[in-house]
Amino acid sequence: MSINNINEVLKEEIKRVSVGKEEYKYLNEISRLTIKEIEKRLKKLKINASVFIGGSLAKETVVKKEKHDIDLFLRFDKKYPEPQINRFMRKIFFLFKVPGFKAKVKKIHGSRDYVQIIFKKHGVMIEVVPSIKIANPEEARNITDLSYFHIKYVNDKIKKHKKLSDEIILAKAFCHAQKCYGAESYINGFSGYALELLIINCGSFEKFLNAVADSSGKIVFDSANHYKNVSEVLNVLNPAKRQSPIILIDPTSKDRNAAASLSQETFDKFKDACRRFLNNPSIEHFEHKKVSIDKMRNYAMEIEGAFAVFHVETNKQEGDIAGTKLLKFHSFLGKELEKNFDIIEQHFEYDYGKDSYNYFIIKRKKEIVIYGPALNYKEGVENFKKTHRIWYIQDGKICAAKSPEITVKQFLKEFNRRNKTQMKQMGITKVELA
């Protein structure tokens, strides 16, 4: 396709995902009323703190979707120690209400405990995150303390280059569709701030895609010139912060890689998506696709395999903690399946809750090798021979082979029986076939 075709696709996508004036007005109004109630409580409790809007709403880079997340930052005076801030948060949001709205308040554990105010009927969730009022980034105690500086930096850039706003919206929509949006451990993708910086550095969404698609090694950005060159970045930056495939030096904090959450696996998936879009631009690349059960079931039938869907529940906190535990369990489940089946295809689906769906296309193994003891352990060898009439010697050990006849239902029954302890340790409360 020609460049014009790419431009047409991007123009169409901006129309499709941009939030209109009325919707912005509504989101700002619900934020204003929430802030007003928080400020009332701050005054009543005589707490020295202020509230500001953060995230996409502050920069007007909100992507249209069914449910909107709004970030509010409660900026406490730096004289308050961390334990006192936690106590303040409990007091401020005890029986918290926003007049005219029905909302549920949930306490969430994090590097600092924060709250979610869920306006379910209105499709809005407001996260109120505590931070510290500091004069410069070097005083930050926590990553959330830098949020004020991040918002100011990005807004200043957007004011100078108005088109950046649309380019950022495109990047967020594309990454969300490709399941690469989010710094959470179960995604290991791009945070919103990282995408904003990448678009600012590259100048446009298309240039960002080209930079990734054409890359052959680490991509390094240092727009504020905190370091002399790329070599200095790679030599001076903390080793733990330079492991990611993109090193994005935070212009507001030279010691921070804003893309540190990005894993090689997610980057490779994203890189492939960039190339596919650039080779054949279409709106489809911006559409969030769920696992196609019909396609997987039909494919399993074609290869004379089986299609298994496991529904898994956890007792861990919704979000990053639950998602990470469920993803880890997905890997564990896959390894156990591989003892009896060949895994042809697998998918993990988690959507911010306490459960996940784990999809597998599998084929029963033709044979399973059972490894016995080393030949010098004579008693063990004799016992093995009694159990397995047909046996052979391999690498100094006695072995046997058998054809597995287990079904998926039998596997699950045996899996639940044998792994009760491991499941409890991983916070898994239920595994069932969906």
At residue 366, the pLDDT reads 83
Residues 128/117, Cβ–Cβ less than 8 Å:
yes
At residue 110, the pLDDT reads 83
Per the prediction, the chain carries an average pLDDT of 94
> Once rounded to an integer, what is the mean pLDDT over residues 394-422?
91
Q: What is the CA radius of gyration of the chain?
A: 26
Residues 322/304, Cβ–Cβ less than 8 Å:
no
* Element containing residue 132 per DSSP (H, E): strand 124-133
- The phi and psi torsions of 317 (rounded to 5 degrees) equal -60, 135
Query: Could you report the per-residue pLDDT of 154-202, keeping only the tens digit for each?
Result: 999 999 999 999 999 999 999 999 999 999 999 999 999 999 999 999 9
Is the CA virtual torsion 121, 123, 128, 134 positive or negative?
Answer: negative
Q: Tokens 């001076």 identify what position?
A: 236
Grouping H, G, I as helix, E, B as strand and the rest as coil, residue 247 is strand
At residue 3, the pLDDT reads 46
> Once rounded to an integer, what is the mean pLDDT over residues 368-375?
88
402 pLDDT band, cuts 50/70/90, is confident
At residue 429, the pLDDT reads 97
Q: How many CB atoms lie within 10 A of CB 315?
A: 12
At residue 2, the pLDDT reads 42
> CA-CA distance, 415 to 179, in Å (whole number)?
30
At residue 42, the pLDDT reads 98
386 pLDDT band, cuts 50/70/90, is confident
Architecture of domain 19-158: 2-Layer Sandwich (3.30)
For 63-76, b/e burial (b = at least 16 CB within 10 A) is: beeeebbbbbbbbb
290 pLDDT band, cuts 50/70/90, is confident
Specify which residues 246 forms β-bridges with: 219
Contacts of residues 333-336 at CB distance under 8 Å and 24 or more positions apart, as own/partner, are 333/358, 333/415, 333/431, 334/360, 336/411, 336/415, 336/419
As a whole-number percent, the residues of the chain with pLDDT over 70 amount to 99
Alpha carbon 98 to chain centroid distance? 30
Q: What is the CATH number of domain 161-289?
A: 1.10.1410.30
Residues 413/433, Cβ–Cβ less than 8 Å:
no
Which stretches does DSSP call E strand in 152-230? Answer: 219-221
Query: Could you report the per-residue pLDDT of 114-134, keeping only the tens digit for each?
Result: 999 999 999 999 999 999 999
> CA-CA distance, 174 to 204, in Å (whole number)?
13
Query: Could you report the per-residue pLDDT of 231-262, keeping only the tens digit for each?
Result: 999 999 999 999 999 999 999 999 999 999 99
Residues 356/364, Cβ–Cβ less than 8 Å:
no
Angle at 273 between CA 218 and CA 296, to 5 degrees: 130
Taking domain 293-366+403-433, whether its CATH number is 3.10.100.10 is answered by no
At residue 404, the pLDDT reads 81
- Angstrom CA distances, 108 to 130, 324, 356, stand at 12, 15, 20
Secondary-structure breakdown of the chain: helix, strand, coil percentages, each rounded to the nearest 5: 45, 25, 30
Residues 183/206, Cβ–Cβ less than 8 Å:
no
- Angstrom CA distances, 56 to 68, 77, 188, 206, stand at 10, 25, 20, 20
Residues 118/164, Cβ–Cβ less than 8 Å:
no
DSSP H helical segments within 18-130, as ranges? 21-45, 55-59, 82-92
Domain ranges of the chain: 19-158, 161-289, 293-366+403-433
Task: Give the predicted TM-score (pTM) of the model.
Answer: 0.86
Grouping H, G, I as helix, E, B as strand and the rest as coil, residue 266 is helix
- Strand pairing of 124-133 and 114-119? antiparallel
At residue 242, the pLDDT reads 92
Residues 59/154, Cβ–Cβ less than 8 Å:
yes
1 pLDDT band, cuts 50/70/90, is very low
> CA-CA distance, 154 to 353, in Å (whole number)?
31
As a whole-number percent, the residues of the chain with pLDDT over 90 amount to 87
368 pLDDT band, cuts 50/70/90, is confident
At residue 135, the pLDDT reads 93
Is the CA virtual torsion 191, 195, 196, 200 positive or negative?
Answer: positive
